[in-house]
């Protein structure tokens, strides 16, 4: 990686870089193999057909936040490309996200007050690019988390790519072209995808020049972006909400159990059938901030468990 360029992004306060990029629940930002050490994140993203190395760290404070982004590339990026990469970083790091209205909810909502106090300055994040988000959505379907991780790790190990920069090695997700050119049988055998192999290959083939990239989706209204994603085979309501660049509310069986305990004090008899009702109740309570409640609550389960006396981490 011979070429680098650096940008320093201003963010809307409060912005806690460490909590945002390295969430307590262990959610990664760009790839499961990204490296996070002492406040510095080394990860990668794909820009066109080029893999870029990213080194990010906070240079400001929570109340005066700045994020230094060093971008490593094999070939020198044209200034228009640099501009696009910077826009994508700002979008995915949610540097313009204003949390004040959500934090105001804490004045009247006990649950929000609690999580906001625990995770002050944590922002939601967006996916740097589309295909990895779709891989996550597809592999989370109808599988325990352990098996989902197995499928994702095998996809990355067998079909992904390495990028080495700043003395770090990061292995990145396969490109849509790579998956589109792999047979369904090979995907089933090497990544243990089962019936999901056909869907993932179809999606990979659909992500051509006609289909909007993540930044284009982000400029659409949430409804438009979701509608576009729902056109992809194997992407339904839950997956679209998980992938869309605007804040979605991707309630699945696991999170439905947790929200049901928090809202009604018990796990529903049939969680899958209860998803719609819990979603309605949450949206009635938090309105357009439901997605933020989702991210804050799921990243504060250990503390919330102590508060309510029920182990929310067991689901």
Partner DNA sequence: GCGTCCAGGTCTACC
Partner DNA sequence: GGTAGACCTGGACGC
Taking CB under 7 A as the criterion, the residue among 198, 228, 285, 307 binding DNA is 198
| 260 binds DNA per the rule CB under 7 A | no
The single residue among 161, 186, 237, 283 that binds DNA, judged by CB under 7 A, is 237
Q: Does residue 32 belong to the site contacting DNA (CB under 7 A)?
A: no
| Sheet containing 35-37: order of strands | 3-10, 66-73, 50-58, 40-47, 35-37
Distance, CA of 197 to CA of 179 (rounded, Å):
9
**Residue 188 is a binding residue for DNA (CB under 7 A):** yes
Nearest to 214 by CA among 131, 92, 124, 130: 130
Give min distance, CB of 198 to DNA, in A.
6
Tokens coding 125:
């994040």
> Please, which residues have CB within 8 angstroms of residue 156's CB and are 6 or more apart in sequence?
31, 32, 33, 171, 172, 173, 174
Q: Which is nearer to DNA, 194 or 212 (CB)?
A: 194
- Name which of 146 and 284 has its Cβ closer to DNA: 146
Q: Which is nearer to DNA, 81 or 155 (CB)?
A: 155
Residue recorded with tokens 């799921």: 298
Nearest to 299 by CA among 111, 105, 25, 15: 25
How many chain residues are in contact with DNA, going by CB under 7 A? 32
Determine how β-strand 168-172 pairs with β-strand 66-73.
unpaired
Q: List the interface residues with DNA, window 138-157 (CB under 7 A).
A: 140-148, 150
How far is C-alpha 120 from the chain's CA centre?
19
- DSSP letter (8 states) at residue 192: -
Concatenate the DSSP letters of all residues of 98-111 into one string.
--HHHHHHTTT-HH
Which of 175, 255, 260, 299 touches DNA by CB under 7 A? 255
Task: Tell me the closest approach of the beta carbon of residue 143 to DNA, in angstroms.
Answer: 5
Query: Does residue 249 bind DNA (CB under 7 A)?
Result: no
Q: Does residue 234 bind DNA (CB under 7 A)?
A: yes
- Tell me the sheet residues that pair with 9: 67
* One of 39, 169, 195, 216 touching DNA (CB under 7 A): 195
Q: Which stretch binds DNA (CB under 7 A): 12-20, 110-118, 122-130, 226-234?
A: 226-234
Among 24, 60, 194, 212, binds DNA (CB under 7 A): 194
Which residues make up the interface to DNA (CB under 7 A)? Answer: 137, 140-148, 150, 188, 192-196, 198, 232-240, 252-255, 272
């Amino acid at each position: 990686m011979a070429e680098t360029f650096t940008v320093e992004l201003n963010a809307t306060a409060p912005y806690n870089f460490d909590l945002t990029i390295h969430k307590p629940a262990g959610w990664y930002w760009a790839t499961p193999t990204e490296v996070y050490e002492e406040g510095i994140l080394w990860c990668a993203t794909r820009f066109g057909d080029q893999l870029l190395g990213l080194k990010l760290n906070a240079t400001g404070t929570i109340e005066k936040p700045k994020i230094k982004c060093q971008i490593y590339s094999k070939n020198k990026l044209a200034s228009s490309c640099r501009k696009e990469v910077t826009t994508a970083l700002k979008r995915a790091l949610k540097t313009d996200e204003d949390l004040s209205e959500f934090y105001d909810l804490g004045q009247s909502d006990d649950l929000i007050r609690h999580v906001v106090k625990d995770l002050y300055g944590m922002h939601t994040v967006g996916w740097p690019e589309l295909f990895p988000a779709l891989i996550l959505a597809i592999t989370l379907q109808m599988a325990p988390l352990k098996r989902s991780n197995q499928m994702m790790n095998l996809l990355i190990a067998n079909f992904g790519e390495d990028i080495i920069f700043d003395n770090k090695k990061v292995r990145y997700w396969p490109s849509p072209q790579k998956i589109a050119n792999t047979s369904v049988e090979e995907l089933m055998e090497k990544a243990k995808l089962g019936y999901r192999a056909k869907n993932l290959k179809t999606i990979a083939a659909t992500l051509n020049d006609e289909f909007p990239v993540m930044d284009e989706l982000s400029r659409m209204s949430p409804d438009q972006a979701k509608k576009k994603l729902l056109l992809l085979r194997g992407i339904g309501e839950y997956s679209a909400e998980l992938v869309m660049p605007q804040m979605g509310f991707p309630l699945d069986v696991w999170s439905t159990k947790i929200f049901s305990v928090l809202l009604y004090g018990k796990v529903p008899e049939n969680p899958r059938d209860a998803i719609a009702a819990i979603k309605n109740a949450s949206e009635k309570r938090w309105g357009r901030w439901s997605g933020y409640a989702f991210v804050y609550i799921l990243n504060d389960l250990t503390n919330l468990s102590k508060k309510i006396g029920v182990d929310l981490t067991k689901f």
